[in-house]
Structure 1
Amino acid sequence: METTKWLLDPAHSELTFKIKHLMISNVSGAFKNFSAKAETEGMDFSKANINLTAEMNSISTNNEQRDAHLRNSDFFEVEKFPQLKFTSTQIEQTDDESFNLHGNLTMKGITKPVKLTMEFNGIMKDPYGQEKAGFLVSGKINRSDWGINMNVALETGGLMLGEDVRIQCEVQFVRQGINVPVEV
């Protein structure tokens, strides 16, 4: 069967996260610069090879002081570890539109297996003739598994930051190999 290559449409994709703050609310953030690619057998994503790379320096929580802190050695050490990487290892189809996406996540030089959920939103041709595939990928990781341990004990008990980080990625892939104008 023919291999089909897909590249991320960055104008229609986002990589976000949430973490508990003071155990009463969430702080949200995003990676503004990331890329992804997929290879499928024909148009079948159930056996896709998926790779994603995020530039850690592009982290944004809409607070410059907090973003600078996240970039330093208390958290991501972006000068030493400039990228986050995900490489799929297996995809299990659970129903017509849902999958378990298994892969290896690398942060701060540590690679660990993760299991995410992936919802297939379909394939559609845009007004410029490009075929696009849409997905929602989500999951939860424990930040200490990647050596991200910074925290502060609160007077009232508990910790300033939660251990679990919720990840959500809205992804739109563009099928490659078709010569059509690039969408602006």
Structure 2
Amino acid sequence: METQVKTKWNIDTAHSEISFKVKHMMISTVTGHFEDFNATVETESENFVDADFSFTAKTGSINTKNKDRDAHLKSDDFFNAEKFPEMTFKSKSYDGSTLTGDLTIRDVTKEIELNVDFNGIAVDPYGQTKAGFEATGSINRKNFNLTWSAVTEAGSIVVSDTVKLIIDLQFIKA
């Protein structure tokens, strides 16, 4: 029986972004992203079905374009970046449209599902082979011990429990 050789793909950070959106006071949306992250894919197929995806982000690299808010997110109310410097994702399965895997934030690991669009493979002007993906999903932040909450005088929740994930990834064939 012939053994398939796995192809490794490394993240192209210049053309990738790990971002999120969360409702603020239920009337507006705050967007943020992680500045320091890494990801790899290992696959045996051109369509990446059953590929192994792995990802890490430095929680201290969170950026919402507001220093005070970023400091709060790095505190123990949310990520506790000092004690838990990384969040990780390790895939369990990918069928071409749904990526299932374990997301670890703080000391909590939960299985999540992401909807994935595989945008194809192309060769850039420098001869590098690249593959592009867009992934979306949502998590309940409280499931990961990101439990800080407050309510305004009018009774509005300050930060929604639901966090939308928007992940744009471009990989370079190793």
Q: TM-score range by the shorter chain?
A: over 0.9
- TM-score computed with the length of structure 2 as normaliser: 0.96
Give secondary structure in 2 for the equivalent of 1:47: coil
The residue correspondences of 1:39-118 to structure 2 (distance < 5 A) are 39-93=42-96, 99-118=97-116
Gaps of 5+ in 1: 94-98, 177-184
Aligned-residue identity in percent: 43
**What is the root-mean-square deviation of aligned Cα atoms in Å?**
0.8
**Distance of 1:125 and 1:134 partners within structure 2:** 11
Question: Which residue matches 2:135?
Answer: 137
How far off its partner does 1:154 sit? 1.8
Question: Which residue matches 2:39?
Answer: 36
How far off its partner does 1:120 sit? 0.5
**Distance of 2:57 and 2:76 partners within structure 1:** 18
Give secondary structure in 1 for the equivalent of 2:51: strand
1:168 aligns with 2:166: yes
**Distance of 2:45 and 2:148 partners within structure 1:** 45
- TM-score computed with the length of structure 1 as normaliser: 0.91
Question: Which residue matches 1:122?
Answer: 120
Q: Is the 8 A contact 1:90 1:101 kept in 2?
A: yes
Q: Is the 8 A contact 1:143 1:149 kept in 2?
A: yes
1:78-119 C-alpha deviation (Å, 9 max, x unpaired): 0000001000001123xxxxx110000000110000011010
Which AA in structure 1 matches 2:145? G
Give secondary structure in 2 for the equivalent of 1:45: coil
Which AA in structure 2 matches 1:32? E
Question: Which residue matches 1:147?
Answer: 145
Q: Flag as ranges the 4+ runs of structure 1 deviating above 6 A.
A: none
Gaps of 5+ in 2: none
Which AA in structure 2 matches 1:41? E
